[in-house]
A and B are shown apart, each in its own frame.
Chain A
């Protein structure tokens, strides 16, 4: 096994299931190297993907709003251990309902190594709004175009490469129900985390004066909440007059959330943490 340099797989092979290893770890999360968040519109199959990766049996009902709490599970991929956090489905990250807040707070402050946004191949346009909102918050994003089987039945074709090019982040077509495309998806996630793929997320910036206003606020926010990972996004929300973010800032909750989310990572590890079992 020592001198096999010549037999090293080519780059293309790295995403081939024959060379990659996926091991489902269920709720035995224990120590983990990386945290992945699963976001997406309601009913796009996040829980199905979650089950396929972790081997858990989180219930997957066919109605928007099925997952109201975040469920966590683990898997191992190419010798790295991942913790996967299944977030409630949301159309946006701006509203004040509890399920949307769970999703937003985690992507914002939980600092996942990478966020997978699961989209519905049959309703891509509507799903892209959330993708773009997540891209505003973090650069480590991969789009999973799910329900490809359903799209095919409906006569819809989705070009993942075109999407990937336009968004500036990897986009992988999958059918979570049948387990198709999952290795390629995880390969892309690993590459984004390791910096092998450099993402250039498309950001819809608005007008120039708006950009300038944002850049004035960012340093101020960073000063009051050191270590805050998404000052730019918060600045945009403040300019928009988001009451929830304003309140979080003035009550000092912002700093609290940062520490709470980081603490939660430690707390949840190594114990059963599939919440919201119904």
Chain B
């Protein structure tokens, strides 16, 4: 018996069946379901349902839907920014204090200077930086995001953005995977499995990195607070900073649309396919579950991963900064060598060096960068307040507002972290698509920062 025989037999049997036998089956399935349900279900009132519908009319309306979405995003980011600033400096004070104590202890027992330096100014400082910069925003953002997720808001976002994705030739469910990307881009890439069409799924995978993940939020928040918001009255700082981060997020969303549009007209040609998406009822989120998921599964998971790269990165920077070359050191020398290219992009050599060292998990770019500045400037400890950071970067290392803006753009657009690249490879089983995801994002990052820097310079802004 051959498979082909069966197929042929099925074919001939099908042709002999009266036309419409399929409809007959489907129809009887639905009628049967209707009858059974009617017998088993008794409805007495529709009160709760009405309430859900009233809310939905508001949050999915063409007029109020988008503003409400932006407002919610703004509120979440504002809570994150204002909470994170307080927590960050508190954590920094404690951790850097421990560092001082440890260093003093090592000096007291007369450890060789290079052991003290390697451990406390290298590995420990790297860890302290990552924890104080990354932990607070995640601790606040993840629970807030999980709350909206459990409440049932995400499908409404998909509903609101569907028409835009359709115009770009992408799948409407891409807004769900995009939203997951805010948590973690690797998770966002896995979530694309809900998209049926392989073409649209690839678009969702390749563009997921354009939304800043939680590893990159701290960078954006710090830069927005220290640079953009610094010139405003203190009462407004958190609002300006949150507004700036929202702006950066929107730029990321804009690039998602742009990239989707370009992809679906070039390498991934095709029309957007139709789909149905159920709007689930709003459900009261379970607080303990939210805290568990967001703190254990998400925050600790992401932080642990960052710490694993931060410790060796700290060690490398310390070594580079302590190998003397003339009256400078190796870190400085490499940074100086990279500087012309960095300046071309409105950044500088140290940022690029930090970026290269932090390739395994590029959310640690800012801590790495700070350590290079600190190491090179022979400062013993890290600055633990925003004004100290501002002083270190602007007065000590010649940063301008352009540097800050371009670093934010660079952090938003550059290539996915190593974990996400691996996930893309696993999901697509293709080196080609994984490579494209890197080339496309990195190319965009270079191009955009270069254009911004050039335009700003031509206009005499920087």
**CB–CB B176/A63 < 8 A:** yes
Query: Does residue A96 face the partner (Cβ distance < 8 Å to B)?
Result: yes
Give the A interface residue count (CB, 8 A): 64
**For the complex, what is the distance from the CA of A57 to the CA of B18, rounded to whole Å?**
51
- A99 in contact with B6 given A61-B154, A166-B39, A239-B13 (CB within 8 Å): no
**CB–CB A61/B150 < 8 A:** yes
**CB–CB A210/B286 < 8 A:** no
**For the complex, what is the distance from the CA of A138 to the CA of B6, rounded to whole Å?**
23
User: How far apart are B188's CB and chain A's nearest CB, in angstroms?
Assistant: 9
Query: Does residue A162 face the partner (Cβ distance < 8 Å to B)?
Result: yes
Contacts of A59 in B (CB 8 A): 293, 297
**CB–CB A163/B36 < 8 A:** yes
> What secondary structure prevails in chain B residues at the interface with A?
helix
Among A63, A238, A241, the most chain B Cβ lie within 10 Å of the Cβ of A63
Contacts of A221 in B (CB 8 A): 6
- Cβ proximity bits A129-157 to B, threshold 8 Å, 1 near / 0 not: 10010000000000000000010011111
- Cβ proximity bits A64-82 to B, threshold 8 Å, 1 near / 0 not: 1100110000000000000
Query: Does residue A15 face the partner (Cβ distance < 8 Å to B)?
Result: no
Give the B interface residue count (CB, 8 A): 72
Query: Does residue A98 face the partner (Cβ distance < 8 Å to B)?
Result: yes
Residues facing A in B23-55 (CB within 8 A) are: 24-25, 28-30, 32-49
Query: Does residue B194 face the partner (Cβ distance < 8 Å to A)?
Result: yes
Query: Does residue B353 face the partner (Cβ distance < 8 Å to A)?
Result: no
- A206 in contact with B183 given A65-B194, A95-B196, A159-B42 (CB within 8 Å): no
**CB–CB B32/A249 < 8 A:** no
Contacts of A42 in B (CB 8 A): 278
Among B1, B5, B193, the residue within 8 A (CB) of A68 is B193
Residues facing B in A44-98 (CB within 8 A) are: 57, 59-65, 68-69, 88, 95-98
User: How far apart are A272's CB and chain B's nearest CB, in angstroms?
Assistant: 14
Among A96, A158, A235, A249, the residue within 8 A (CB) of B3 is A249
**For the complex, what is the distance from the CA of A213 to the CA of B16, rounded to whole Å?**
9
**CB–CB A65/B25 < 8 A:** no
Nearest chain B residue, comparing its CB with the CB of A276: B190
Contacts of A65 in B (CB 8 A): 173, 176, 191, 194
The chain A residues found within 8 Å of chain B, CB to CB, are 42-43, 57, 59-65, 68-69, 88, 95-99, 122, 124-126, 128-129, 132, 150, 153-160, 162-163, 166-167, 177, 202, 204, 206-207, 209-210, 213, 216-217, 220-221, 223-224, 235, 238-241, 246, 249-250, 252, 276-278
The chain B residues found within 8 Å of chain A, CB to CB, are 1-7, 9-10, 13-14, 16-18, 21-22, 24-25, 28-30, 32-49, 146, 149-152, 154-155, 173, 176, 180, 183-184, 187, 190-191, 193-196, 277-278, 280-283, 285-286, 289, 292-293, 296-298
5 contacts between A and B (CB under 8 A): A69-B193, A150-B283, A160-B40, A166-B39, A204-B25
Task: Rank and list the top 3 A-B pairs by shortest CB-CB distance, nearest first.
Answer: A155-B45, A125-B37, A97-B196
